[in-house]
């Protein structure tokens, strides 16, 4: 599928963000790409070279999904009658355990990567399963199809069903093997990611061992934090020695600038302080937070408190949609709910609803920051890699009064994969 | 576009609802349609006649949108930074006033009817504008394209901008003329609907006059109720003589079994009692309720209290999507939010989240009840008219474990207009 990585030149308009509040539209730009990187961006003037590709619509940076469970794709869009802990037992674990079968793995993971790419996800932080070979297969499929991936072999050595669990020893051994195998693929598209499922399913010994592996190989770490109130109580029971849920990860060496924590809905102020100090990336998963009735996360407050590393996660199958376009809209809705519920609150600015360009930031540059990839992804800047989507608004009705901004707003609210006509990763067209 | 209204025979599986809690899947049914009506539904057995159309996917009843503003389609998907009252002034009134131009009207309304039909809306309760001829044009377009419509010429004679208002006299005169003209079309697809915008923009004299017209012609009535807290306060100031906002409509003869009230978010218990007694239909517009930060309506409580006439409205452009598929998902989210917020409440069953088949009920039979059309629309029963959608799941990934129920659940969560392959209204294929 990926084409030759040639030198590319585009004449295009584009939208991107330079920060949470800096949204920019640039008209008629000449973007030159060499070896997958943007080498120049200039206002178009005069004649256009014959080798320049003229984009009729516009471009945006590729979407980055900071939290998605690849095996759960098989039941995405079903089973939202339970809260997190019961949902894991009834729907998730029975389906995840089937991924010891490599044929099943390939069948499903090819669909996941194809579907997410088609929806504009140029980079995803994946949770696979506890199976190291199956998790490696996901890495291979990402490389084959040209999608960037943080690939996580999941770890769980306690409070897990008999049919889907590991010993501490096997979990650490398999993780080390998995890490080496992913690194052995020698692709700069995929990175192994240390993935303790969450505190309840990981012993202290396992967490400490995983922290050591992450440190040894300088790897990203991902997990779940403060998603569900019953989960939080359970963690407090399991770890009375730690000050809060966040501190459990911190006390086990798993909370630092390489960490991505999903959900983070019910954080206490001292947890938010710890996460900010440690420069942890936060993956906001609004669809899942609604579907599993976990709670409503307040992005605006985190921003007000100084967090920059906030991005979006589809969290399939906790969330029902594999599309970041859906995540953006759900993030808008979540912020509206926060605003509605805040009528009697002081510090009103912490409860302002988000605007369309804010959630666009979250899906692009914000998510790049969460993965510590903002030096090379997230927007159109010289020196960054060229991960981009070509957007065609056909099918979305526009009227005379629409301008560049309302056109884009309509794309955010009404767009879907039909409007994503081409997908580029590292300068290669993959869709 | 509509084909000859012949006799039709289908071999199909279908899903429909018989009540809020009765969701039914029927496999391999022979549905015979004569003159637009279902004359028999039988289990298929033995050979199939050569004139029977075999549906490879499945059928569902057509969707019914109980609340949509056709002129607002031009800015659907933009401008969600304000609450209702400010939003009306800044975005709505300036755009609605342009519909005194019939050319503009036809251009826009053809797009609205085409777009909603494509999304499976076989019947819609429309608000047009204050302009009688333009509103009549909407009725004509519905007839041309084969969509059922309640067509409302909007009334507003106070608290309206100078450039978009009526006198009481002209409003009543134009309404009467409009009603006669729609009835003069002699189509059983369209019905004129008495449409006072909402209490703040209608004097008592106007409301009383409109109630008289509704009574004279035995017409449905539609308006907005209890959408926004500032709106409610304003109504209380305008009508201190009435007990509640709902009582204002009641006191002016506008609240009865022919009435459709949109939003109904913040109703007091005594208002709910009044609405139930009067058998008012409630149009739940969850997308709009989020987007304009109006509030979160509790469907489950209404059902527990005995309401049967509850349906869904897209409320474009207060809601950003013209699709009932979106409304169903937003209704699920709204119910999840209600459930999340109810942790400390008693009477837990009033806060249970809705299931996928509940929102399917709301979009079909529930909405039919809201419009008092459940004797002929809303599900597949002998004697009812044949308004149906043919669903093709192509593009939604299914797996070996999926059964008839998870397949349908995936359609509800992940489907869009691509999966609606054919649309029938009154036995005629219109898409």
d(CA B360, CA B98) in angstroms, rounded, equals: 35
Q: What is the ipTM of this complex?
A: 0.97
Q: Is the dihedral of CA B232, B235, B239, B245 positive or negative?
A: negative
Looking at residue A1, its pLDDT comes to 35
Average pLDDT over residues B230-258: 98
Q: Is the pTM of this model over 0.95?
A: yes
Asked if B73's CB is within 8 angstroms of A397's CB, the reply is yes
Q: Which of B115, B339, B396 sits opposite A397 (nearest CB)?
A: B115
* Chain B: closest CA distance from residue A409 (Å): 6
Q: Where are the beta strands (DSSP E) in B226-330?
A: 259-263, 281-284, 310-312
Percent of all residues in chain B with a pLDDT value above 70, rounded to a whole number = 99
| HSE-up (13 A, CA, CB side) for residue A61 | 30
Looking at residue A5, its pLDDT comes to 56
Asked if A332's CB is within 8 angstroms of B397's CB, the reply is no
Q: Show the tokens assigned to B425.
A: 């209204």
Asked if B418's CB is within 8 angstroms of A418's CB, the reply is yes
Minimal Cα distance from B332: which residue of A? A291
Q: Which residues of chain A have pLDDT under 70?
A: 1-6
The three-point CA angle A341-A343-A345 to 5° equals 95
Cα A301 to Cα A83, A263, A307, A327, B20: the distances in Å are 25, 14, 9, 19, 39
Looking at residue B153, its pLDDT comes to 98
Q: What is chain B's Cα-based Rg?
A: 21
Q: Which of A108, A293, A399 sits opposite B353 (nearest CB)?
A: A293
Minimal Cα distance from B409: which residue of A? A78
Looking at residue A73, its pLDDT comes to 98
Q: Which of A78, A337, A356 sits opposite B410 (nearest CB)?
A: A78
Other CB atoms within 10 Å distance of the CB of residue A257 = 11
Q: Give the pLDDT band (50/70/90) at residue B2.
A: very low
Residue B3 clears pLDDT 80, i.e. is over it:
no
Q: What is the pLDDT of residues B74-93, one digit of tens each?
A: 999 999 999 999 999 999 99
Q: Which of B81, B293, B410 sits opposite A340 (nearest CB)?
A: B293
Asked if A353's CB is within 8 angstroms of B78's CB, the reply is no
Looking at residue B345, its pLDDT comes to 77
Residue B263 clears pLDDT 70, i.e. is over it:
yes
Q: Which of B81, B95, B406 sits opposite A78 (nearest CB)?
A: B406
Asked if B77's CB is within 8 angstroms of A336's CB, the reply is no
d(CA A142, CA A368) in angstroms, rounded, equals: 18
* Chain A: closest CA distance from residue B116 (Å): 12
* Chain A: closest CA distance from residue B404 (Å): 12
Cβ contacts of B222 within 8 Å, gap of 6 or more: B67, B125, B127, B150, B152, B193, B194, B195, B259, B260, B261, B262, B283
Q: Show the tokens assigned to B326.
A: 């979106």
Q: Show the tokens assigned to A223.
A: 């997990």
d(CA A396, CA A64) in angstroms, rounded, equals: 24
Minimal Cα distance from B339: which residue of A? A293
d(CA A322, CA A111) in angstroms, rounded, equals: 11
Asked if B321's CB is within 8 angstroms of A413's CB, the reply is yes
Looking at residue A45, its pLDDT comes to 87
- Helix (H) or strand (E) run with residue A399 in it: none
* Chain B: closest CA distance from residue A120 (Å): 16
Q: What is the pLDDT of residues B308-345, one digit of tens each?
A: 999 999 999 999 999 999 999 999 999 999 999 887 77
Average pLDDT over residues B383-403: 97
Residue B40 near residue B32 (C-beta atoms within 8 A): yes
Residue B1 clears pLDDT 70, i.e. is over it:
no
Provide, as residue numbers in chain A, all residues whose Cβ is less than 8 Å from the Cβ of B332: 80, 291
Asked if B296's CB is within 8 angstroms of A413's CB, the reply is no
Who wins on pLDDT, A112 or B348? A112
Looking at residue B46, its pLDDT comes to 83
Asked if B111's CB is within 8 angstroms of A414's CB, the reply is no
- Residue from A81, A94, A118, A340 whose CB has the most chain B CBs within 10 Å, to mutate: A340
Q: Which of B293, B353, B396 sits opposite A336 (nearest CB)?
A: B293
Q: What is the pLDDT of residues B50-82, one digit of tens each?
A: 899 999 999 999 999 999 999 999 999 999 999
Other CB atoms within 10 Å distance of the CB of residue A392 = 17
Q: What is chain A's Cα-based Rg?
A: 21
Looking at residue A229, its pLDDT comes to 96
Looking at residue A3, its pLDDT comes to 42
Looking at residue B220, its pLDDT comes to 98
- Residue from B290, B322, B404, B409 whose CB has the most chain A CBs within 10 Å, to mutate: B290
Provide, as residue numbers in chain B, all residues whose Cβ is less than 8 Å from the Cβ of A115: 397
Residue A189 near residue A139 (C-beta atoms within 8 A): no
Provide, as residue numbers in chain A, all residues whose Cβ is less than 8 Å from the Cβ of B320: 329, 413-414
Asked if A290's CB is within 8 angstroms of B333's CB, the reply is yes
CA A180: distance to chain centroid?
A: 23
* Chain A: closest CA distance from residue B315 (Å): 15
Provide, as residue numbers in chain A, all residues whose Cβ is less than 8 Å from the Cβ of B330: 333
The DSSP line for B158-197 is SSS-TTS---HHHHHHHHHHHHHHHHHT--TTEEEEEEE-
d(CA B29, CA A280) in angstroms, rounded, equals: 56
Looking at residue B5, its pLDDT comes to 56
* Chain B: closest CA distance from residue A186 (Å): 31
Asked if A336's CB is within 8 angstroms of B413's CB, the reply is no
């Amino acid at each position: 599928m990926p084409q030759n990585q040639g030198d590319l030149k585009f004449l295009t308009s584009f939208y991107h963000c330079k920060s949470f509040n800096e949204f920019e539209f640039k008209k008629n730009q000449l973007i030159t790409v060499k070896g997958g990187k943007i080498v120049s961006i200039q206002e178009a003037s005069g004649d256009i070279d014959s080798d320049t590709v003229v984009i009729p619509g516009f471009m945006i940076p590729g979407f980055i999904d900071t939290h998605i469970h690849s095996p759960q794709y098989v039941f995405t869009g079903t089973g939202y009658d339970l809260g997190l802990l019961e949902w894991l037992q009834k729907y998730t674990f029975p389906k995840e355990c089937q991924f010891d079968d490599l044929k099943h793995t390939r069948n499903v993971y090819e669909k996941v990567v194809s579907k997410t790419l088609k929806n504009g996800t140029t980079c995803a932080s994946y949770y696979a399963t506890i199976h190291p070979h199956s998790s490696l297969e996901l890495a291979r499929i990402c490389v084959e199809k040209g999608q960037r991936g943080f690939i996580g072999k999941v770890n769980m050595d306690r409070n897990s069903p008999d049919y889907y669990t590991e010993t501490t020893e096997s979990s650490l051994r398999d993780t080390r093997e998995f890490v080496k195998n992913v690194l052995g693929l020698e692709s700069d598209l995929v990175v192994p990611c240390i993935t303790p499922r969450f505190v309840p399913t990981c012993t202290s010994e396992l967490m400490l061992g995983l922290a050591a592996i992450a440190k040894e190989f300088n790897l990203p770490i991902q997990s779940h934090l403060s998603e569900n109130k019953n989960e939080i109580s359970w963690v407090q029971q399991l770890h009375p020695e730690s000050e809060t849920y966040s501190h459990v990860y911190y006390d086990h060496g798993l909370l630092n600038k390489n960490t991505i924590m999903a959900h983070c809905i019910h954080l206490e102020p001292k947890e938010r302080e710890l996460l900010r100090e440690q420069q942890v990336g936060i993956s906001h998963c609004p669809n899942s937070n609604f579907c599993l009735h976990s709670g409503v996360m307040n992005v605006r407050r985190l921003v007000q408190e100084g967090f920059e590393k906030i991005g979006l996660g589809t969290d399939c199958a906790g969330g029902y949609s594999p599309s970041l376009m859906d995540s953006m809209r759900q993030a808008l809705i979540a912020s509206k709910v926060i605003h509605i519920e805040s009528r009697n609150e002081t510090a009103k600015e912490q409860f302002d609803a988000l605007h369309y360009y804010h959630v666009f930031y979250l899906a692009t540059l914000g998510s790049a920051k969460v993965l510590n990839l903002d030096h090379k992804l997230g927007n159109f800047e010289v020196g960054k890699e060229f991960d981009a989507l070509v957007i065609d608004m056909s099918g979305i009705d526009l009227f005379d009064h629409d301008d560049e901004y309302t056109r884009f707003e309509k794309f955010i609210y009404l767009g879907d994969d039909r409007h994503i006509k081409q997908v580029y990763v590292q300068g290669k067209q993959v869709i």
